[in-house]
Structure 1
Amino acid sequence: MFAIVRTGGKQYRVAAGDRIVVEKMDGEAGQSVTLADVLLAGTGGELQSVDGLTVAAEIVAQAKADKVIVFKKRRRHNYRRKNGHRQRHTILKIVAIGDHKADTAGEAPAAQA
C-alpha cells in the first residue's frame, strides 16, 4: 500500500518501511509522529478513500543538508559577498499507513541478498 502525504509544503509518495527526508519537524530521534495530510492512497492501481487516514512515522534523525554557498559579485565596484547556508531537515521512517504496518520480517532477507 502507498500514500501521498504533504508536509513542509512538499508532497511525498511513501510506503510502509520507506525513509524520507522532509523539512525540519519538532521532535527527538526515536519519537513517533503522525502525518495527517494524506492526499491519495491505494494499492497497486486501485485507490482508496483517504477520509481519516493517517500515516505513522518515526523520527530517525535530525540532520543538516549539504552547505550551499551564496556568492555575489559586481564587476568593477569592489563588491564581493560570500555567505553559506545549511538547511535543517528531518529523516523519517514510515511505520504504517492507516492500519497497514511495515513488514520487517520480509525486509531483512532482501537486504542480505
Structure 2
Amino acid sequence: MPNWLAGLGARHLALVGRRGPEAPESADLLDRLKCRGVTATAYAADVTDEAAIRRVLDAVDATGHPLRGVVHNAMRLDDAPLTELSERRALRRRPRPRGGRRRRLAPPHRRP
C-alpha cells in the first residue's frame, strides 16, 4: 500500500502498525520510500487503542503536514480452503471494524 500511495504522488506517509519501526520489514520499506522521495514515519500503535491513535494523530499534526486520508487495511490472515473454514475462522478474516472507526476520534480538521 505505501508504494502504491507513493506512486500516486504521496510524499509524506504515516505508517501505523502494532510493532511500528520494530516490524521486521519496516527499515527496508522506509529506505525504499526514501529513495523515491517520500518521507515516511513508522508509528507503533494498535488501531483499537484510542489513546495510542490519539498519540499518533498528535505526532502527525506536529510534522506540519496535514492528514489527508486514512487507509485501514488491517486483518488477520488465516488461510485455508473454503471448504475447511469454520464460521469462527471465516469471521477472523474480516477487517477490524473497531480500528476503522477510530478515525472518528480525529477532530474535523484531521478527518479524511
TM range (shorter): under 0.3
TM-score (norm 2): 0.26
Bigger-Rg structure (1/2): 1
Looking at secondary structure, tell me which structure has more strand per residue: 1
Pick 1 or 2: higher relative contact order, CA cutoff 8 A, min separation 6.
1
Higher helix share: 2
Q: TM-score, normalised by structure 1?
A: 0.26
